[in-house]
């Protein structure tokens, strides 16, 4: 049996800790003592975790004793391009790509996600091993690598300050604060009950998001290292576009689709002027939500208006889009995206609020179908990417939306 590495031992320990928590939470929610089987399993988990701690310490100590040459050994790096080419040709993956794929398969297994047959399964991020030189192959460090590094940067929601989490396991529920009950009490008086200040809030669970990109066969066979970055950016942008189209929709969600922000927040029609912009801030402030990551997100058409419209008739206050047009309005960050929607006749949308109360979560790995047939006559290959996400408003009072002309 293959001896486990330090990384694999840490992963095993994390899985055991998760299982232990599940057993404890189940008994707690059912308001009962542990069953004999649960007691036995918890005991086994604790014993194994103790063994793992010893094994990790022994491996670390052993690696310190290994002679390490000063010259650095050049390691093969994971290549998305080469992984796609191998999948396309039906050839075996190189060991460096296969190790990343194995990591993704384990991630999906922990989340109960079954990838489509014949797909290329990849994690959103992965560990890259750095080893010492010579023939020893001694592990000296590990660093986290992003499969789709531009994804986070491509999301306007993340730039606004949305709560963005990846690598989730199981459903997640954010408590929703409805009020804050705070009292002055005497030194020995009993504390007043503030239990009604929080409600359970909405539960978020993984939902499949599908996006695709078409790339040329000629691009894929290029050995130029810039191609790797182009591929990752194309896929990241496709996912980001689909996420934000859904996030800024007015569609109510279901078991398969998240709620759009305009389905949760009432949108009021009005005129784009300084009073309206300030009024949006005032309403959020009235709801005791003027805190955290405050920003406006609006349609580019409104950005154009903001850059050319003055705050008052005299013009002394300057243009609505302040800071010399560098992305601020009413002293808050002002971001743009076509995904918020709107048109010339009805007006264009803008949302203001504390974006820390908007959640974006990602579960498991991404699985990619490499399709050489659909766009074959154009010399293109279609990459169909499935990933698992959920998102939505945690606290409606933290936002104000408007459709402005």
Tens digits of residue pLDDT in 30-80: 888 889 888 889 889 988 988 898 888 888 888 777 765 544 445 578 999
Q: Pick from 104-108, 148-152, 173-177, 333-337 the range whose average pLDDT is largest.
A: 333-337
Does residue 223 carry a pLDDT above 70? yes
Residues 215 and 235: beta-carbon distance below 8 Å: no
Averaged pLDDT of the chain: 85
**Residue by residue, what is the 3-state secondary structure of 3-25?**
CCCHHHHHHHHHHHHHHHHHHHH
pLDDT score, position 347: 97
**How far is residue 208's CA from residue 112's CA, in Å, rounded to a whole number?**
13
pTM: 0.73
Give the pLDDT confidence of 165-185 residue by residue, as tens digits: 988 888 998 877 654 555 566
pLDDT range class, residue 293, cuts 50, 70, 90 = very high
pLDDT score, position 140: 35
**How far is residue 88's CA from residue 104's CA, in Å, rounded to a whole number?**
19
pLDDT score, position 75: 59
More confident call, 355 vs 59: 355
pLDDT score, position 365: 92
Give the pLDDT confidence of 115-149 residue by residue, as tens digits: 888 899 998 887 554 333 433 343 433 445 677 66
| Residue among 135, 145, 160 nearest 69 (CA) | 135
pLDDT score, position 366: 92
| Residue among 119, 116, 118, 145 nearest 130 (CA) | 145
**How far is residue 76's CA from residue 91's CA, in Å, rounded to a whole number?**
18
pLDDT score, position 135: 38
pLDDT score, position 386: 94
**How far is residue 125's CA from residue 290's CA, in Å, rounded to a whole number?**
34
pLDDT score, position 377: 92
User: Mean pLDDT across the stretch 278-291?
Assistant: 96
Average the pLDDT over each of 115-129, 278-292, 365-379 and give the range with the smallest value.
Answer: 115-129
> From the DSSP assignment, how many helices (H) and strands (E) are in the chain?
12, 19
């Amino acid at each position: 049996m293959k001896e486990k590495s330090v990384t694999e031992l840490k992963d095993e320990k994390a899985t055991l800790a998760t299982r232990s928590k599940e057993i404890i939470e189940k008994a707690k929610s059912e308001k009962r003592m542990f069953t004999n089987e649960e007691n036995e399993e918890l005991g086994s988990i604790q014993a194994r975790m103790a063994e793992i701690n010893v094994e990790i310490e022994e491996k670390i100590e052993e690696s310190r004793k290994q002679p390490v040459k000063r010259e650095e050994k050049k390691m093969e790096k994971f290549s998305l391009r080469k992984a796609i080419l191998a999948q396309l040709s039906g050839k075996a993956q190189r060991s460096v790509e296969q190790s990343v794929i194995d990591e993704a398969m384990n991630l999906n297994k922990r989340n109960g996600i079954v990838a489509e047959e014949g797909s290329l399964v990849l994690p959103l991020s992965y560990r890259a091993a750095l080893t010492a030189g010579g023939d020893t192959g001694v592990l000296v460090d590990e660093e986290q690598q992003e499969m789709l590094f531009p994804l986070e940067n491509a999301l306007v929601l993340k730039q606004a300050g949305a709560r963005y989490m990846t690598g989730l396991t199981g459903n997640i529920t954010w408590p929703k604060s409805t009020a804050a009950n705070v009292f002055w009490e005497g030194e020995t008086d009993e504390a007043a009950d503030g239990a009604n200040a929080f409600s359970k809030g909405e539960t978020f669970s993984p939902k499949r998001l599908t996006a695709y990109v078409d790339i040329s066969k000629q691009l894929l066979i290029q050995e130029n290292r810039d191609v790797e970055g182009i591929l990752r950016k194309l896929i990241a942008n496709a996912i980001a576009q689909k996420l934000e189209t859904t996030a800024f929709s007015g569609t109510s969600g279901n078991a398969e689709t998240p709620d759009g922000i305009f389905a949760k927040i009432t949108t009021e029609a009005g005129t784009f002027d300084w009073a309206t912009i300030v009024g949006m801030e005032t309403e959020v402030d009235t709801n005791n939500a003027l805190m955290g990551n405050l920003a406006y997100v609006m349609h580019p058409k409104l950005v154009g208006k903001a850059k050319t419209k003055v705050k008052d008739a005299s013009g002394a206050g300057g243009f609505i889009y302040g800071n010399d047009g560098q992305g601020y309005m009413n002293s808050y960050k002002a971001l743009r995206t076509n995904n918020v929607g709107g048109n010339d006749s009805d007006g264009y949308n803008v949302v203001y609020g504390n974006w820390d109360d908007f959640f974006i979560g990602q579960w498991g790995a991404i699985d990619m179908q490499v399709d050489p047939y659909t766009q074959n006559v154009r010399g293109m290959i279609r990459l169909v990417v499935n990933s698992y996400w959920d998102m939505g408003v945690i606290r409606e009072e933290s936002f104000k939306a408007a459709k402005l002309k």
